[in-house]
Chain A
Amino acid sequence: MPTGEIYFRHSLRVNDYLCQGCTTCMRTCPTAAIRIRGGKAVISDNKCVDCGECMKACPHKAIYIKQDDFGLIENYRYRVCLVPTTFIGQFDTKYKTKAIYSCLLKLGFTHIYEVEHEVPRMMELYNRYMEDHPEISTFISPYCPAVTRLIQVRFPSLVDNVIHVRAPLELASRVIVKRLMDDGARRESIGVFYVTPCAAKIAAVKYPVSGKETYVSGVINMDFLYNKVLLMLHDSDKNAQPINHALTARDVMWPLAGGEAVNFKGYQYAVDGLQNVLNFLEKLEDEAVDAPGLVEMRICDQGCVGGVLTTNDRFVARKRLEYRARLFERLENSKLRESSNEDNTLTPEWIKDMEIPDIKPRSIYKLNDNYAEAFKMAERMKKIEKALPGVNCSACGAPSCAALAEDIVRGDANADTCVFINPLSKTSKDAMNRIWGDRIKSNKEEQ
């Protein structure tokens, strides 16, 4: 794989023991980040956007997300579990949230905090940003970190359309840390652990685009925690409360596709699912759609309930959250919240902390920083592409013939890896001809 400056890092890993080099993941990757080397899938750091598609597609369960050691929570006296409502959506509605939370306490946490409690403050941050940038017509929500990275690498001309505000979990962790410290806790004694539905949120915590400090001490995979809680739920009769105020129907729905956009004034759009996101960004880039207002975008179909670390069907999870939202409506939680004495203001420090100073374009297409050099490479690439058979067989270890052509001009692969150009033997050449017609080319392209 190419070397040079690495500006993205990931928690996604390939288990070489399980990986069969079957090319399935490589073909699903939206940024052509995967190659087969030594018979195993290898992910390129600068191209991967943590969308999780490869992991969803792998038939051998060979791609996994490295998580922090659960024992890490023991290092803190105050152990806060920062949960998104997506987690609650994994459970049957017959279980009360209080019962689920009591299991979390039994597992060792001392406090529960629901991320979506910060929805009002997040909305204010978005609204402030939009008001401060009247020159921008289409704003893209920064909610899904995979979308932001995708824009950086594939649609760099749109980086300025992304609202430059950090993830809600960063705000939530700051709010909870302040609250505990106001109650006398020392900063070092507070550990905040986020329950993640995906790899993208982990990257957002550990390797943030903002380059700023995180208040999250560790990240726990949602499937891991789900299994632990499920085993305890049957005999859980305890009523544990989160320390935040009750969520409203609106808050519960926030991680779902459409749950965010609907709360904003003016025009809003909700785009979910990788293919839809790609299509929409492509059109935005070409100005083929006119979309003034706020665009909510989620890489996962149905939003975070479709995250790669969720355990239950996304449509079922969606229904369950809708059910709980209706329940909260009947309980008039929003009135409760309004009449409570909670402080929903943003401190100037938080406003500053939540800012992303700069989202850098990181084009994966650019062949060279020098135009003349890039031009030569592009010309050669075009020639090579023509010489390749165009069947995208992936036998060369690249996802497509175009990707191989690019690897060749970048110096990351040789043309002789193409089995069409360089058939192994007379017999294999005849066999290939029977299947593919006359697409086997002689090795002439590079003269």
Chain B
Amino acid sequence: MHYTFKIERGNFTDAGQASSSVKRTLKQLGVDPVNIKRTVVALFEAEINAVAHAYGGTIDVDIDGEKIVMVVADEGPGIPNIDLAMQEGWSTASPQVREMGYGAGMGLPNIKKNTDDLKIDTKIGVGTTVTMTVYLT
């Protein structure tokens, strides 16, 4: 099953619709709550990153018999140093983003923790594509 969503730049309040919609499907499938939570948490963090640090983008979710693959692709500045970005507490969030309650530098580490596979493709000045996989079994 395939889902596509759009991410709008700077729209923090509407973020989360993709994860709610995916959550609904996973509940229909009777997926184990732990895996639902992992998926929802990871997808939400990646979406927020695209809202906060980039200029919006798209989300593609594929669910099959054994896994959930989520691809969050944005147009944005890219991530200069992924190793640094993966560190807990490291953040370049603007004061405005911090004002919204984000910017603890925990998003990417949280994604890492909650997914079975994480791939980050990034190109400076072009954008970032985050591919996350959660296995159901």
Among residues of A, the one whose C-beta sits closest to the C-beta of B31 is: A371
Which of B24, B33, B136 neighbours the largest number of chain A CB atoms within 10 Å of its CB? B33
Question: Which of B28, B37, B65 is in CB contact (< 8 Å) with A285?
Answer: B37
The A352-377 residues at the B interface (CB cut-off 8 A) are 361, 363, 365-369, 371-372, 374-375, 377
In whole angstroms, what is the CA distance A422 to B40 when docked? 38
A361 / chain B contacts, CB cutoff of 8 Å: 33
B136 / chain A contacts, CB cutoff of 8 Å: 371
In whole angstroms, what is the CA distance A122 to B63 when docked? 46
Q: Is A259 close to B, CB under 8 A? A: no
16 example contacts (A-B, Cβ-Cβ < 8 A) are as follows: A157-B33, A157-B37, A285-B37, A286-B23, A286-B40, A286-B44, A287-B37, A287-B41, A369-B30, A371-B31, A371-B65, A375-B1, A375-B29, A378-B25, A379-B1, A381-B28
Report B40 CB to chain A, min CB distance, Å: 5
Given A157-B36, A371-B65, the answer on whether A288 and B16 have CB atoms closer than 8 Å is yes
Among residues of B, the one whose C-beta sits closest to the C-beta of A379 is: B1
Are B30 and A374 in contact (CB-based, < 8 A)? yes
Q: Is B123 close to A, CB under 8 A? A: no
Are B40 and A372 in contact (CB-based, < 8 A)? no
In whole angstroms, what is the CA distance A191 to B28 when docked? 45
A369 / chain B contacts, CB cutoff of 8 Å: 30
In whole angstroms, what is the CA distance A382 to B3 when docked? 10
B37 / chain A contacts, CB cutoff of 8 Å: 157, 285-287
Would you give the 0/1 interface string for B1-36, flagging 1 where the beta carbon is closer than 8 Å to chain A? Answer: 100000000000000100110011101111101101
A-B pairs, 10 with minimum CB distance: A157-B33, A365-B27, A366-B30, A374-B29, A378-B28, A367-B28, A365-B28, A286-B40, A374-B30, A379-B1
Q: Is A156 close to B, CB under 8 A? A: yes
B1 / chain A contacts, CB cutoff of 8 Å: 375, 378-379, 382
A377 / chain B contacts, CB cutoff of 8 Å: 28
Report A32 CB to chain B, min CB distance, Å: 12
Do most interface residues of chain A lie in helix, strand or loop, or is the interface mixed? helix
Given contacts A361-B33, A378-B25, could you give 10 more A-B pairs where the C-beta distance is less than 8 Å? Answer: A157-B37, A286-B16, A286-B44, A288-B44, A365-B24, A365-B28, A375-B1, A375-B29, A375-B65, A377-B28
Report A399 CB to chain B, min CB distance, Å: 15
Question: Which of B16, B19, B23, B28 is in CB contact (< 8 Å) with A374?
Answer: B28
Among residues of B, the one whose C-beta sits closest to the C-beta of A370 is: B30
B19 / chain A contacts, CB cutoff of 8 Å: 286
B63 / chain A contacts, CB cutoff of 8 Å: 375
A368 / chain B contacts, CB cutoff of 8 Å: 30
In whole angstroms, what is the CA distance A382 to B65 when docked? 16
Among residues of A, the one whose C-beta sits closest to the C-beta of B64 is: A375
Binding site for A on B (CB under 8 A): 1, 16, 19-20, 23-25, 27-31, 33-34, 36-37, 40-41, 44, 63, 65, 136
Among residues of A, the one whose C-beta sits closest to the C-beta of B29 is: A374
Query: What bracket does the count of chain A residues touching chain B fall in?
Result: 20 to 34
A372 / chain B contacts, CB cutoff of 8 Å: 65
In whole angstroms, what is the CA distance A361 to B65 when docked? 23
Report B15 CB to chain A, min CB distance, Å: 10
B30 / chain A contacts, CB cutoff of 8 Å: 363, 366-369, 371, 374
Which of A286, A369, A374, A377 neighbours the largest number of chain B CB atoms within 10 Å of its CB? A286
In whole angstroms, what is the CA distance A379 to B20 when docked? 17
In whole angstroms, what is the CA distance A375 to B25 when docked? 9
Report A335 CB to chain B, min CB distance, Å: 45
A374 / chain B contacts, CB cutoff of 8 Å: 28-30
Report B36 CB to chain A, min CB distance, Å: 7
B65 / chain A contacts, CB cutoff of 8 Å: 371-372, 375
Which of B19, B28, B40, B44 neighbours the largest number of chain A CB atoms within 10 Å of its CB? B28
A363 / chain B contacts, CB cutoff of 8 Å: 27, 30
In whole angstroms, what is the CA distance A157 to B30 when docked? 11
Are B28 and A366 in contact (CB-based, < 8 A)? yes
A378 / chain B contacts, CB cutoff of 8 Å: 1, 25, 28-29
In whole angstroms, what is the CA distance A287 to B106 when docked? 14
A288 / chain B contacts, CB cutoff of 8 Å: 16, 44
Report A155 CB to chain B, min CB distance, Å: 9
The A254-304 residues at the B interface (CB cut-off 8 A) are 282, 285-288
In whole angstroms, what is the CA distance A365 to B24 when docked? 8
Report A198 CB to chain B, min CB distance, Å: 27
Among residues of B, the one whose C-beta sits closest to the C-beta of A361 is: B33
Report B112 CB to chain A, min CB distance, Å: 16
In whole angstroms, what is the CA distance A367 to B40 when docked? 20
A156 / chain B contacts, CB cutoff of 8 Å: 33
Are A366 and B41 in contact (CB-based, < 8 A)? no
In whole angstroms, what is the CA distance A377 to B25 when docked? 11
Among residues of A, the one whose C-beta sits closest to the C-beta of B1 is: A379
In whole angstroms, what is the CA distance A361 to B30 when docked? 11
Which of A365, A366, A377 neighbours the largest number of chain B CB atoms within 10 Å of its CB? A365
Would you give the 0/1 interface string for A291-319, flagging 1 where the beta carbon is closer than 8 Å to chain B? Answer: 00000000000000000000000000000
In whole angstroms, what is the CA distance A379 to B23 when docked? 15
Report B122 CB to chain A, min CB distance, Å: 26
Report B104 CB to chain A, min CB distance, Å: 11
Given A372-B65, A379-B1, A382-B1, the answer on whether A367 and B41 have CB atoms closer than 8 Å is no
In whole angstroms, what is the CA distance A371 to B27 when docked? 11
The A307-344 residues at the B interface (CB cut-off 8 A) are none
